[in-house]
Chains A and B, each alone.
Chain A
Amino acid sequence: TVEPLEYYRRFLKENCRPDGRELGEFRTTTVNIGSISTADGSALVKLGNTTVICGVKAEFATPSTDAPAKGYIVPNVDLPPLCSSRFRTGPPGEEAQVTSQFIADVIENSQIIKKEDLCISPGKLAWVLYCDLICLDYDGNILDACTFALLAALKNVQLPEVTINEETALAEVNLKKKSYLNIRTNPVATSFAVFDDTLLIVDPTGEEEHLATGTLTVVMNEHGKLCCLHKPGGSGLTGAKLQDCMSRAVTRQKEVKKLMDEVIKSMNQK
């Protein structure tokens, strides 16, 4: 398009978007859990065209001295050049680093897993969960897709039982006895883009994000508590607009939770 902003404005005036969605409508969300057999837990999430895959690997580590009864969760978001032409090869760019920090903050704030649950023997052995999120196709709204993929993958993780042998002081892993992680809350992210300082649209595509004057991401859990309100600059918002975003985030949280429960139930039935 020659004048992308004007093109978008014509659609926004009629309260819809070029791909036919309403201003408050999300793209079709699909999730595939447990597809990577070599990982301890995995999930693939597609939000329209945006595709993010999350793999969780569990390894042993010694807990740090200032937190001897806590394990670790280490998230890492990778935005390779394969997902979009805006990324180059080499060390992680700013977008990847900011997204990794966002996911780390969501894990920390929402207390999705209590780090104490990951401890096997205080001061000696604990689990460390390496969560690697790789974007396979970047079409906007990467934060929502990453949070969803992480949550789904963590629900899929099965850790084997570990006992410390008293005589040899070595860990013995019983691969036959596996148990799921204790997921305490279900944080779900809802992202908005601000257009022309006034209009708020939900789930922006890559092009919409580029044209937007600001973005906002709200992470909410099922008790109506906010884990994160991420608004990195951009045009200002009044308190009333924020309130609309909150209500949309609440409905989105319920939709996503329902979808995930259905998928997990169908997996367990097999």
Chain B
Amino acid sequence: MEVVMRADAKVRVESGTESSPRGPGCSLRHFACEQNLLSRPDGSASFLQGVAEKSQERLIRNTCEAVVLGALHPRTSITVVLQVVSDAGSLLACCLNAACMALVDAGVPMRALFCGVTCALDSDGNLLLDPTAKQEKKARAVLTFALDSVEQKLLMSTTKGLYSDAELQQCLAAAQAASQHIFRFYRESLQRRYSKS
């Protein structure tokens, strides 16, 4: 499904740097979002070279395809352009969040929202949500999930490293709990935007 639409929505989602403190009860780093910061799209999307990027593009595209109601827009093409401003770990999860917010900002009809969460398992088996780049490198396994907003079902998953079945279920449960924070953030951010204009 190659869908192109004049992208009238650009969203920048930042995942905070290592120094910002984590809020109580939630082990995700601070995140902020700026919507509609570009008035014109950037021109043709030149996809990144490299097999690893192609693989990530496929993951993000398939996740978007699963939620976007494509049947309502026949013979159209939606292009999602993701530009990495800075990478401080959990990049793929951040890309997924940005893609979702951009689609919402553009007014594309979707059957659910989705969010990305990354979990890292270190050598002692401790679970770390939303790891920094340094924590990712030292971790034994890094798992990235995309969850939907309706029933927190698993939409996309990609993993690196070795882990057991029980650890997978543990990470999935933690990711589902964390996704609630992210969906609440989406709601608040959109409320703020539309209450002003």
Q: Which residues from chain A sit less than 8 Å from chain B, CB to CB? A: 94, 97-98, 100-102, 104-105, 108-111, 213-214, 221, 224-239, 242-243, 246
CB of A233 within 8 A of CB of B55, answer no
B74 at the interface (CB under 8 A from A): no
Query: What's the dominant secondary structure at chain A's contact region?
Result: mixed
CB of B52 within 8 A of CB of A233, answer no
Instruction: From B83-91, B155-163, B189-197, give the one contacting chain A.
Output: B155-163
Instruction: From B62-70, B101-109, B131-139, give the one contacting chain A.
Output: B62-70
A237 to B168, CA, bound (A): 14
Chain B's closest residue to A216 (CB) is B157
Q: What B residues does A221 contact at CB under 8 A?
A: 162
A110 to B159, CA, bound (A): 12
A226 to B172, CA, bound (A): 14
Q: What B residues does A228 contact at CB under 8 A?
A: 159
Query: For chain B residues 146-193, which have a beta carbon within 8 Å of chain A?
Result: 146-148, 151, 153-165, 168-169, 172-173
CB of B157 within 8 A of CB of A101, answer no
Contact of B51 among A97, A234, A242 (CB under 8 A): A97
A selection of 14 A-B contacts at a CB cut-off of 8 Å is: A98-B54, A104-B51, A109-B159, A109-B161, A225-B162, A225-B164, A232-B59, A232-B156, A234-B62, A235-B66, A236-B66, A238-B151, A238-B153, A242-B169
CB of B54 within 8 A of CB of A97, answer yes
A242 to B157, CA, bound (A): 11
CB B167 to nearest CB in A, in angstroms, measures: 8
CB A55 to nearest CB in B, in angstroms, measures: 20
Q: What A residues does B164 contact at CB under 8 A?
A: 224-226
Contact of A229 among B61, B147, B159, B173 (CB under 8 A): B159
Binary A-proximity of B40-64 (CB < 8 A = 1, otherwise 0): 0000000000011011001111111
Q: Which residues from chain B sit less than 8 Å from chain A, CB to CB? A: 51-52, 54-55, 58-66, 143, 146-148, 151, 153-165, 168-169, 172-173
CB A113 to nearest CB in B, in angstroms, measures: 15
CB of B172 within 8 A of CB of A233, answer no
CB of B162 within 8 A of CB of A110, answer yes
Q: What A residues does B59 contact at CB under 8 A?
A: 232-233
Q: What A residues does B143 contact at CB under 8 A?
A: 229
CB of A233 within 8 A of CB of B65, answer yes
Q: What A residues does B158 contact at CB under 8 A?
A: 229-232
Q: What B residues does A239 contact at CB under 8 A?
A: 154, 169, 172-173
CB of A237 within 8 A of CB of B169, answer no
Q: What A residues does B64 contact at CB under 8 A?
A: 233
Chain B's closest residue to A185 (CB) is B162
Most B C-beta atoms less than 10 A away, residue of A97, A110, A231, A234: A231
CB of B55 within 8 A of CB of A231, answer no
A232 to B94, CA, bound (A): 16
Contact of B159 among A226, A235, A237, A243 (CB under 8 A): A226
CB of B163 within 8 A of CB of A236, answer no
CB of A243 within 8 A of CB of B160, answer no
Most A C-beta atoms less than 10 A away, residue of B51, B155, B157, B168: B51
Most A C-beta atoms less than 10 A away, residue of B59, B64, B159, B163: B159
Say whether, besides A101-B55, A233-B63, A233-B64, A246 and B148 are in contact (CB < 8 Å): no
Most B C-beta atoms less than 10 A away, residue of A110, A232, A243, A246: A232
Say whether, besides A97-B54, A224-B165, A226-B163, A236 and B151 are in contact (CB < 8 Å): yes
CB of B153 within 8 A of CB of A97, answer no
CB of B157 within 8 A of CB of A230, answer yes
Q: Which 3 A-B pairs give the minimum distances between C-beta atoms?
A: A233-B62, A236-B153, A101-B55
Contact of A109 among B60, B160, B169 (CB under 8 A): B160
Contact of B168 among A101, A214, A242 (CB under 8 A): A242
CB of A229 within 8 A of CB of B162, answer no
CB of B66 within 8 A of CB of A101, answer no
